[in-house]
Chains A and B, each alone.
Chain A
Amino acid sequence: MTPFETRNKSRELKEKLIKFLLITASVISILTTFGILFSILFEAIEFFQLRSFWYFISGTEWSPGIVNSKFGAVPIFAGTFIITFIAMAVSIPIGLGSAIYMSEYASGKVRNALKPLLEILAGIPTVVYGFFAAITIAPLIVKVAAYFGLEASFNSALASGVVMGIMIIPVIASLSDDVIRAVPDSQRKASLGLGLTHGETIRNIVLPSAMPGIISATLLGLSKALGETMIVVMAAGLRPNLSINPLEDMTTVTVRIVDALVGDQAFDSPATLSAFALGLILFVVTLVLNIVSLTMIKKFKEKYKVNTL
C-alpha cells in the first residue's frame, strides 16, 4: 500500500465514525418523543391497574386523599376546557387582528418595529405571567365583579384564562402573519380590480385563502393553552369544580399533575400515579392537535409553494 492509500483508509474510517455520530444524535431526538410516550404510558398503566379507567374518564369526583380516594377526572377536564376556552376567546380575535394589521395595513417599517414588540410577549416566562395573573389581574377581577354585584373568587378561571390568552396572542399572530403574507398578491389585485374594498378583499379573498394556515396557528395556540402550567398553578386554584361560571375557581389537568408530584408521597401510590394518567391524556390530545396543525400548514405550503414557514 502506498502512503497515500493508507492515509485515505484512515480518513475513510474517521469519516464513517463522524457520520455514525451524526446519525446517533438524530436518533436521540426520536428517542425523546418515544421516551416521553413510554415513560408516561407505563406509569399510567400502573395507575389503571389500581383504579378503573372508565371511572377516570367518566367519574365526577376527584379526591386523591389517602382513604377513600376517588379519581374521576371529569371536573378537571371541564376546568381545563373552560380556562382554555377563555384563553382562546381572548387570543384568536386579538392575535388574528394583529396579524391582519401587520400584514395588510402596516408599512414595512411599522411592521418591523411592531413584530419584535409582540414577540416580547412570547418571551416572557410563564411563571411571570402567573405572578401577574395572581397578584394584579385576579384582584382586579374581584373588584370589577363586586362593582357589578357579582362575587368572584381570588383564584378565578377568568384571571388565568385571560392572562393565558394574552400569552398565546403572539403564537397566533406570528404564524397567521406569515401565512397571510404568503397569499399571492395577484389575488388581492384581482379582487381590488373587481371593485371590492380593502376590507372586503381581506375578509372574502385573503382570509379564506390563508384559512388552513390560520387554523393551524389556532390549533398550535390551543395545544399551548392546554399544556400551560405555571399560570394556572399560580392563579387558577386546586379545587375540582364542575361549573361553567368563569368567576369561580377551577383546576386543570396541569395543576393536578403538579399537585400530585410536589411533596413526598410514595411514588407508587395512586395519588402520585394519577399525574401520569392525566399526563397521558394531555400528551395524546396535544399530539393529535400538533399533527393536524402540521398537516394543514403543509397543505397550505404545497398550495402556495411557500418554503419559508
Chain B
Amino acid sequence: MIIRRKNKNKEENPFYDPTLNKRHRSSRRFKAFALGSLVFSIVFLAFFLTDIVTKGLPAFKQAYLHIDVTFNEASIKDSRQAIDKKYRKIVSRAWLRNVPRLVEENPTLMNKTMTMWVLADDQVDQYLKNHYYKLNRKDRALVDDLKAYGQAELKFNKIFFTNGDSKIPEYAGLKSAIVGSILTLIITMLVAFPIGVMTAIYLEEFAEDNKFTQIIEVNINNLAAIPSILFGLLGLAIFINLFGLPRSSPLVGGLTLALMTLPIIIVSSRAALRSVPDSIRQAGYGLGLTKIQVTKDHVLPLAFPGIMTGSIIGLAQAMGETAPLIIVGMIAFIPDAPTMVTEAATVMPAQIFTWAGMPERMYIEKTAAGIIVLLSVLISLNTLAIYLRKKFEVKW
C-alpha cells in the first residue's frame, strides 16, 4: 500500500524519506519483472499451441481426384495402366498398388471403368493447400482444371488413422504407432502399477524407520531425477543384451518405461496412503483386525482415488517419453500394426520423431498432426486425473 502525501508536507513530516519514491519505483519494477516472466511463459504456451495447430490441421484433410479407373487384366498386372496416362503423375503411387486388391474384394469390377475418388500425389495435395510444391506447369494446369470441375477436392484424411507408417508421404498414417503405444503402455502399467503400489504400502504402512527404508527412500527420490536416456541404456544392457528379449518390441519398451514410471507411482501412492487418517486404522485394530486386513480392507480403498490419480499422471508421462525407447530400438519403420508384444513396434512419440526427420514437405504437417493427436490424449489423461482428484477429494 502506497500512502501518497502532499509535497508541501515534506518538511513537517518526521517520517519523510527522500528515497521512498525511488524505493517504491524499484518495488514496482520488481513486481513488473515477476509478472512479465509469468506472462512470457503463458504467451509462449499460446504461441506454441497455435503454431503446432496451424501446422498440423491441414494434415487432417487430404487431396483426392475424381477420375476414371479401368479394371482389366492389364491394370491388375501393372496397376499404373488403370488410369489415363496424363493423370499418372498426379495420382498416388501407393493408392494404385491397391487396384488388384480392389478387384479381388469385388470381382464384379473386372473389365469395367469406374469414375471414383482416387488419392492424389503429395505434391498435388501440397499445391491445393497452397504450400510449397514441386509440380511442373503442365500438371498444375491439369489439377486446376480438375478443381474447376469439382474433381479435385480436399477430403477428410481417413488414411491418417487407418494406415501405418509409409515411405510415401500421402499414404503414411499413425495407426501402427497408436497400437504400439497401447501395447507398450499396457506392459508398463502391468509392471509399474503393482510394484509401485506395493512398495508404497510397504514403506508407508509396514516399514520401520531404519537404514534399509532410508536407502529405499533416497533411491526413489534419485530414480525420479535420473535422465530418461539412462533408462534406455539400462533397457539395452539388461533386457536386450542380458535377457535376450526381442529388440524394438513393446515388451522391452514397456519394461524400460515401467522402471521410469515406478517412482512417480510410489511417491503419489505414498501421499495418498498418508492422507488416510490414523483413526481409521485404530478403529480396525480395535475390532481385532490384523495390520494386513486393516490395510487391505480399509486404508487401501480410501487411498485408491489418490493412487489412481498418480498412476494416470505417470502413464501420461510414460506415453510422451521418446529417448529411452529410441535406445531400445523402437524407431523401426513399421507399416503394419504389431499384434504381439514381442513384435517390432513403434510408439507415437517415436513416430513423430521419425517423421520430423523426413525430407518431404508433407511430413511436416503429418508430424504436427501426430503431435496434435498425442497432446490431445495427454491432455485428456491429465484432465481425467484432475477430475478424479477433485471428485474423490476428502477433507478429513
Q: Which residues of A contact B (CB under 8 A)?
A: 11, 15, 18-19, 21-23, 25-26, 28-30, 32-33, 35-36, 39-40, 42-43, 93-98, 100-102, 104-105, 114, 116-118, 120-121, 123-128, 130-132, 134-136, 166, 169-170, 173, 197-200, 202-203, 220, 223-224, 226-230, 233-234, 254, 257-258, 261-262, 267, 275-276, 279, 282-283, 286-287, 289-291, 293-294
Contact = CB atoms under 8 A, between A and B. Distances in A.
Interface stretch (B31-39, B119-127, B279-287): B31-39
A197 B27 contact: yes
Nearest to A16: B292
Contacts of A254: 227, 229, 323
B374 A226 contact: no
Q: Which residue, of B27, B321, B350, has the highest number of chain A Cβ atoms within 10 A? A: B27
Contacts of B349: 125, 127-128, 230
A131 B225 contact: no
B167 interface: no
Contacts of B241: 267
Nearest to B372: A128
Given A25-B194, A33-B222, A127-B353, A202 B202 contact: no
B91 interface: no
Contacts of B223: 29, 32-33
B222 A128 contact: no
A118 B41 CA distance: 7
Interface residues of B, number: 89
Nearest to B2: A197
13 contacts: A22-B198, A23-B202, A25-B202, A39-B233, A101-B37, A130-B353, A134-B356, A136-B51, A229-B227, A234-B356, A254-B229, A282-B230, A290-B225
Contacts of A42: 237
B30 interface: yes
B246 interface: no
Contacts of B263: 29
Contacts of B323: 126, 229-230, 233, 254, 258
Contacts of A132: 48, 51-52
Nearest to A28: B195
Contacts of B206: 19, 22
Contacts of A35: 234, 238, 259
Given A130-B353, A279-B230, A257 B30 contact: no
A199 B28 contact: yes
Contacts of B356: 127, 130-131, 134-135, 234
